[in-house]
Amino acid sequence: MRRYFPILDWGRSYTRDTLISDLIAALIVTIMLIPQSLAYALLAGLPPEIGLYASIAPLVIYAVFGTSRALAVGPVAVVSLMTAASVGQLAQHGTPEYLGAAIAMAFLSGLMLLAMGVLRLGFIANFLSHPVISGFITASGLLIAAGQVPHLLGIRAEGHTLIETLGAIVGALGTLNPVTMALALPTLAFLFWSRSRLKPFLKARGLADLPANIIARAAPVVAVAATTLATWGLDLAGQGVSIVGDVPKGLPMPTLPPFDLTLWAQIAVPALLISIVGYVETVSVASTLAAKRRQRIDPDQELIALGASNIGAAVSGGFPVTGGFARSVVNFDAGAETPAAGAYTAIGMALATVFLTPLLFFLPKATLAATIIVAVLSLVDLGALKRTWTYDRADFAAMAVTILVTLGIGVEAGITAGVLLSLALHLYRTSRPHVAIVGQVPGTEHFRNVDRHEVVTAPDVVSIRVDESLYFPNARFLEDTVNGCVAKTPALRHVVLMFPAVNAVDASALETLEAITTRLAEAGITLHLSEVKGPVMDRLARSHFLDHLTGQVFLTHCDAMRALAPDLTASTLGATRRDTHRNGKPDRGLDAAAGL
Amino acid sequence: MRRYFPILDWGRSYTRDTLISDLIAALIVTIMLIPQSLAYALLAGLPPEIGLYASIAPLVIYAVFGTSRALAVGPVAVVSLMTAASVGQLAQHGTPEYLGAAIAMAFLSGLMLLAMGVLRLGFIANFLSHPVISGFITASGLLIAAGQVPHLLGIRAEGHTLIETLGAIVGALGTLNPVTMALALPTLAFLFWSRSRLKPFLKARGLADLPANIIARAAPVVAVAATTLATWGLDLAGQGVSIVGDVPKGLPMPTLPPFDLTLWAQIAVPALLISIVGYVETVSVASTLAAKRRQRIDPDQELIALGASNIGAAVSGGFPVTGGFARSVVNFDAGAETPAAGAYTAIGMALATVFLTPLLFFLPKATLAATIIVAVLSLVDLGALKRTWTYDRADFAAMAVTILVTLGIGVEAGITAGVLLSLALHLYRTSRPHVAIVGQVPGTEHFRNVDRHEVVTAPDVVSIRVDESLYFPNARFLEDTVNGCVAKTPALRHVVLMFPAVNAVDASALETLEAITTRLAEAGITLHLSEVKGPVMDRLARSHFLDHLTGQVFLTHCDAMRALAPDLTASTLGATRRDTHRNGKPDRGLDAAAGL
């Protein structure tokens, strides 16, 4: 029970102090979330009230199922962009079909997350490497910011890619609306300034931390109120300023997503991508915050919590939600101690939905665009490209491809290309296990890489030390290595594979070992193993491999050499050397050998 | 030059003896290839002469570019089935569009293989694990055999899946053609018998090895000739026996594949799958045969050779080809010494195309169906399911899913599901690196797993030994492990990560290490590293990680403990124990520890 309902855990020890801390945090997050919810709904191509709806039920549900004490769930920029990108291919903006597809997306994504949680498939998030997710968020931030620029300028310009959007903006520059710009640009500047400078400014003027914090977080609300008032008072809508218009008042009605299998099939892949991207963001925020207070989150339970939240979003008429980075940090900094803070935030949002919506009629869309731009530009991290280039070229390639494809083709193509490329690069790297040909260090029972150490070998025995577990990505490489040794050593009679670092041998690698045995046997060469670990040996014993093995399994490599090359071991223990290798090539095997 | 044209290598030392060996092998392979080429063309849904065309130019081209001395290239069953499955979705059987799409498939697949070869992407074949390819070939064999049964019974029955096909056969049983069956079933029995028994039978009767071999290989040709003669002589076509009919005489004209981008986009994924499946089959046959004679093949050059062969197939009006298992073994056993044998086979096939095609008019399709069934049933290996189940459940799951999806949905879905599942399982397995918490073996400088050995630890220091390289699939696990230690050890002041087995740290793992450092610092805990290998250290030094590292990097773990827990090391070297751990839980860490 407690595994699936963490509320049973923290709910028992809920005190008055905790309540006060949670209420204060909820107040601050609510203030921050009102303009953001409206803005992200617009970003997703949906009516503004949908953003409010998506910030009520999911928060209550997360409070019941979530294991993070500080995560704040709701609409976020990247997921909203992904929703817009995929739903936009299926239906026209502003139609009931568009809204229905967005709701279905939340529902399907919720089901997928829930299923992954129950099946404990949280490891699927490992498919997304850091460079890919970081590149994807940077590119999404740029795309989102560029898409909002027309709202600031009072022009109409749309595009699916960054180039298209920028081109459309340049093309529409002739239709600039100076009134919109006069309203939007100061708002943008104020938001940028208040984001980082307002709190220190207030504290420097003697305000205490808590009120300074609340006022700083309220800056976007102040911007919303001021620009709405200005638009109403000066009748700016009549001068070409786009306004939000009618927002339905009241709480959302329970709805069911459209059960249309064709639609579900069309949104299945985007829903999966949204689920995984949202989950990765959630887990990374949640575990960062948990670690700060020496708490833990349960990644599989987070899947369940996020899945249930998205289903909650869908049945209350909302769109896909996830744990937001900025608002979770704000929640944490404001002192939220339990997920109950999220439930109180939901109450705040519900009150806003009931009482504030009539006041939003004159809210300029430019203000929301400015809110979005300020939020997403903090996600853009182009410096990561340079850091990754310095550190690892393969990771840089994955990041660069993710960014370029996201900007140039689209979000789904971008994340897919990044994942596939990083998997391919990973397979490439792991397809070459460390393998070293070893010889005996004279006078000792130690064996070291022949390319790096002065060692002796017998002309008719090759000892190959395998430094990694054998799986299908690297099975072929072992085969090639053995074939290479056989082809270049005509006198060869015995091959010994040393397995001190082999923790597992999968079925592909087993077949490879069988193939190697058979081929060596046909060429008159015997295959032996040495230093095989217990669990690997147990598993090999369950197959027919040991029956077909032409040679023996030696406990230590020294035993193997004593049996196969008795002259050699006798002579080197007597310190006579023959067949000595030495060269100074740099070789990754050195450190592996040193580690033994 | 020699890398790309292996013919320059073996061509220099070509002697009269080699010529004779190659000619004999070519004769035997030609005899085998004539009925197979016709049959596989029908299997691919193409006119029979296309099979002959695909067995001329590709063989000559492979002789120039191939590195295997014995590989016989041409149409094969599985690739023909895959071609039929994907082309069948785009065009009607028997239309010029169908033929055009098959030719385009050969061309595009050739281009892909060529590109992979030039870019040295042979490792992509590692995506296909043994259980997946073995399951796929078994399922394909069953699908192909079921699809040929109607030809034996003289009925019309088609289906996309095994169930559909069997259902259609049962439904059409009322229209059985007894004449066709009377012709087909004895042919099938004869082919099965001659495949394994004819050669021993002839040798037991005193025939020498070579003529016995040639006659045994000629059995399908005998079946073709006998059934054709019977059909002609007894006018069986008038009694409902399907015949091949008019086959155009003469060599193929050079053609260009249709350059239609829509078509190419539609066949891109199937072409990639065909390329990879064909390549994996080629490389496994070629390397098996090469090893028997202590030769080597170059997997990247094989991509180029196979790519060029497929382009050759396309421009000579053929369909996708690859290295066939059975015919390569026959070629090898018959004594082929160089790829020239393939070129001589091509001459044989060209002569057949010019002179034999008129004789094929009365050839019953049932004979070709019997040829196919005998060939593909040898590919079916249901025993592999049981062997894999005993050995490894994850590999069994990948194999079973591949078989079920291939049989139940289709070949493309089957191979894709198998690849994705095996990759997911691989990531799952590699997402949990070996990590052990270690303590000091009293009185020594050795450190061992606390769960498996009697060791001492300090209450404020946790030592975590990481037994694998750190990559994005396992970075999160390390994070979880460290978080877990922190959450359950309130007195913790130092965490030491021991890296003796870490050969690489990718950018994702680096970010994880940075995140761990920051979080530990916020909780007042210092992070240290010990026993970091040279190349890993060099790379870490290129990032900012070492600047942010709150602790130190120790050369040995003993140095770390001397610095961080001086009391402990002093006391244990004096053999006083405190805080001793011991329990008998089975733990994968044991062997890792024993390996150190």
Tell whether the model's pLDDT for residue B594 goes beyond 70.
no
**Pairwise CB contact (< 8 Å): B507 & A129:** yes
- Quickly state the pLDDT bin for B575 (edges 50, 70, 90): very low
Q: What is the mean pLDDT of chain A?
A: 85
Q: Which residue of A has its CA nearest to B473?
A: A126
Chain B hits for A287, Cβ within 8 Å: 479-480, 483
> Given this model, what pLDDT does residue B578 score?
38
Of B395, B487, B591, nearest to A533 by CB-CB distance is B591
Model pLDDT for residues B481-495, shown as the tens digit of each residue: 888 888 888 888 999
Q: What is the pLDDT of residue B591?
A: 34
pLDDT at residue A571, rounded to an integer:
61
User: Is the model's pLDDT at B464 over the cut of 80?
Assistant: yes
Cross-chain CB nearest to A543 (options B287, B391, B535): B391
Are B482 and B464 contacting, i.e. CB atoms less than 8 angstroms apart? yes
Q: In this structure, what token pair is assigned to residue B448?
A: 């061992």
Q: Which residues of A touch B471 (CB under 8 A)?
A: 426, 429-430
Instruction: With both helix axes pointing from N to C terminus, report the angle between B77-87 and B365-377 in degrees, rounded to the nearest 10.
Output: 120
How confident is the model at residue B100, as a pLDDT?
Answer: 92
Buried b (16+ CB within 10 A) or exposed e, B164-180: ebeebbeebeeeebebb
Q: What is the 3-state secondary structure (H, E, C) of B477-533?
A: HHHHHHHHHHHHCCCCCEEEEECCCCCCECHHHHHHHHHHHHHHHHCCCEEEEECCC
The answer to whether residue B531 scores a pLDDT higher than 70 is yes
HSE, side-chain direction, 13 A CA sphere, residue A248: 11
pLDDT of B595 above 50: no
Mutation site for B-interface testing, chosen from A134, A390, A476 by largest number of B Cβ within 10 Å: A476
What is the rounded CA–CA span in Å between residue A178 and residue A162?
24
Q: List, for residues B269-283, the tens digit of each pLDDT value.
A: 899 999 998 998 888
Query: Would the CB atoms of A127 and B427 count as touching at under 8 Å?
Result: yes
CA distance B553 to B529: 5
Q: How close A287 gets to chain B, by Cα (Å)? A: 9
Mutate which: A9, A119, A123, vs B, most B CBs within 10 A: A123
- Among B288, B292, B507, beta carbon nearest to A130: B507
pLDDT band at B569 (very low <50, low <70, confident <90, very high): low
Share of chain A above pLDDT 90, in %: 31
pLDDT in tens, chain A (596 residues): 667 788 877 778 788 888 888 898 898 888 888 888 998 998 899 999 999 999 999 999 999 999 888 899 999 989 999 999 889 888 888 898 999 999 999 999 999 999 999 988 887 777 788 888 889 889 988 988 998 999 999 998 888 889 989 999 999 888 899 999 999 999 999 999 988 888 889 889 988 888 888 888 788 888 989 999 999 999 888 888 899 888 888 888 888 888 888 888 888 889 999 999 899 888 888 877 877 777 778 888 999 999 999 999 999 999 999 998 888 888 888 888 888 899 999 999 999 998 888 888 999 989 989 988 988 888 888 888 998 898 888 899 999 999 999 999 888 888 889 988 888 888 788 778 778 888 888 877 778 888 878 888 888 899 998 878 888 888 888 888 888 888 888 888 999 999 877 878 988 889 889 888 988 888 889 999 998 877 788 889 888 889 889 999 998 888 899 899 887 766 654 433 333 343 333 333 333 333 33
What are B94-141's pLDDT values in tens digits?
888 999 999 999 999 999 999 999 988 887 777 788 888 889 889 988
Dist. CA B286–CA B148, nearest whole Å: 29
Q: How close are the terminal C-alpha atoms of chain A, in Å?
A: 47
Residue with tokens 């990505």: A473
Give B 388-427 residues with CB within 8 A of chain A.
388, 390-392, 394-396, 399, 422-424, 426-427
Helix axes A96-118, A299-315, angle to 10 degrees: 150
Contact state of A483 with B291 under an 8 Å Cβ cutoff: yes
Residue B583 has pLDDT above 60, yes or no: no
The Cα A345–Cα A217 span in angstroms is 14
Put simply, whether the predicted model's pTM sits higher than 0.80 gets the answer no
Residue B459 C-alpha, separation from nearest chain A C-alpha, in angstroms: 17
- Closest Cβ–Cβ partner in A427, A515, A531 for B126: A427
Residues 427-456 of A with CB under 8 A from B: 427-431, 434
Chain B positions touching A126 (Cβ under 8 A) are 427, 431, 472-476
Interface test with B, best of A129, A539, A547, A596 (most B CBs within 10 A): A129
User: If pLDDT is split at 50, 70 and 90, which confidence band does B188 have?
Assistant: very high
Phi, psi of B108 (to 5 degrees): -65, -40
Which residue, among B432, B539, B109, B507, has the nearest Cα to A122 in the 3D structure? B432
CB-CB neighbors (< 8 A) of B520 in chain A: 291
Three-class SS state of A454: coil
Which of B124, B490, B507 comes nearest A388 by C-beta? B507
Kindly report the average pLDDT of chain B as a whole number: 85
3-state secondary structure of B94: coil
According to the model, what pLDDT value does residue B1 have?
66
User: Facing residues of B455 across strands?
Assistant: B581
Cβ contact, residue pair A129, B506, below 8 Å: yes
Q: Quick one: pLDDT at residue A577?
A: 38
pLDDT at site B117: 92
User: Chain A neighbours among B 529-548 (CB < 8 Å)?
Assistant: 531, 533-535, 539, 542-544
> Which among A387, A515, A591 has CB closest to B288?
A515
Long-range contacts of B384-391 (CB under 8 A, 24+ apart): B384/B131, B384/B134, B384/B135, B384/B138, B385/B135, B387/A543, B387/A544, B388/A507, B388/B131, B390/A542, B390/A543, B391/A507, B391/A510, B391/A539, B391/A542, B391/A543
What are the DSSP calls for B316-360, one per residue? TT----EE-HHHHHHHHHTT--STHHHHHHHHHHHHHHHHTGGGG
Specify the pLDDT at position B305: 94
Q: Which of B131, B431, B467 sits opposite A123 (nearest CB)?
A: B431
CA distance B149 to chain A (A): 33
Q: Which two tokens stand for residue A243?
A: 């306004």
Q: Please, what is the Cα angle at A60 between A59 and A63, to 5 degrees?
A: 85
Residue B427's pLDDT is 79
What is the crossing angle of helices A130-153 and A261-292, to 10°?
110
A chain contacts of residue B288, beta-carbon cutoff 8 Å = 515, 519
Residue of A nearest to B532 (CA): A591
Q: Quick check: B296 contacting A, CB < 8 Å?
A: yes
β-strands B447-449, B435-440 pairing: antiparallel
| A158, A429 contact by CB (below 8 A) | no
Q: Tell me the torsion sign for CA atoms B215, B219, B224, B227.
A: positive
CA A492, chain centre distance (Å): 50
pLDDT confidence of B260, banded at 50, 70, 90?
confident
Angle at CA of residue B341, ends B338 and B344, nearest 5° = 145
User: Quick one: pLDDT band at residue B63, thresholds 50, 70, 90?
Assistant: very high
The closest alpha carbon to A73, from A371, A420, A308, belongs to A308
Q: What was the pLDDT predicted at A572?
A: 56
Portion 80-119 of B in contact with A at CB < 8 A: none
Q: Which two tokens stand for residue B172?
A: 């059409």
Is there a contact between A423 and B428 if contact means CB atoms under 8 Å apart? no
Provide the shortest C-alpha distance from residue B453 to chain A (in Å): 17
Domains, chain A: 7-423 (no CATH), 435-595 (3.30.750.24)
Q: What are phi and psi of A460, to 5 degrees?
A: -105, 10
Separation between Cα atoms, residue B132 and residue A350, nearest integer Å: 53
CA-based nearest residue to A3, from A301, A338, A290, A306: A301
Inter-chain CB proximity B592 and A484 less than 8 Å: no
- pLDDT value for B346: 94
pLDDT value of position B10: 79
Closest among B536, B550, B562 to B447, alpha carbons compared:
B562
C-alpha pair distances (Å), B21 with each of A406, B120, B208: 58, 33, 16
Residues 477-506 of A with CB under 8 A from B: 479-480, 483-484, 486-487, 490, 500-501, 503-504, 506
Best of B68, B69, B126 to substitute, by most chain A Cβ atoms within 10 angstroms, is: B126
Predicted confidence at residue B587, as pLDDT, reads 35
DSSP state of B240: T
ipTM of predicted complex: 0.72
DSSP codes joined into one string, A315-340: HTT----EE-HHHHHHHHHTT--STH
Contact A510 B595 (CB under 8 A): no
Query: Which residue is closest to A129 within chain B, CA to CA?
Result: B472
Residue type present at position B322: T
Give me the percent of chain B exceeding a pLDDT of 70. 95
Asked if B126 lies within 8 A of A473 by C-beta distance, the reply is yes
Report pLDDT digits (tens) over A325-368.
Answer: 888 888 888 888 888 899 999 999 999 998 888 888 999 989 98
Q: Hey, are the CB atoms on B471 and A287 less than 8 Å from each other?
A: no
Q: Do B294 and A467 touch (CB under 8 A)?
A: no
Contact A471 B430 (CB under 8 A): yes
Quick one: angle between helices A261-292 and A299-315, nearest 10?
Answer: 130
Sign, CA dihedral B362-B365-B368-B374, equals negative
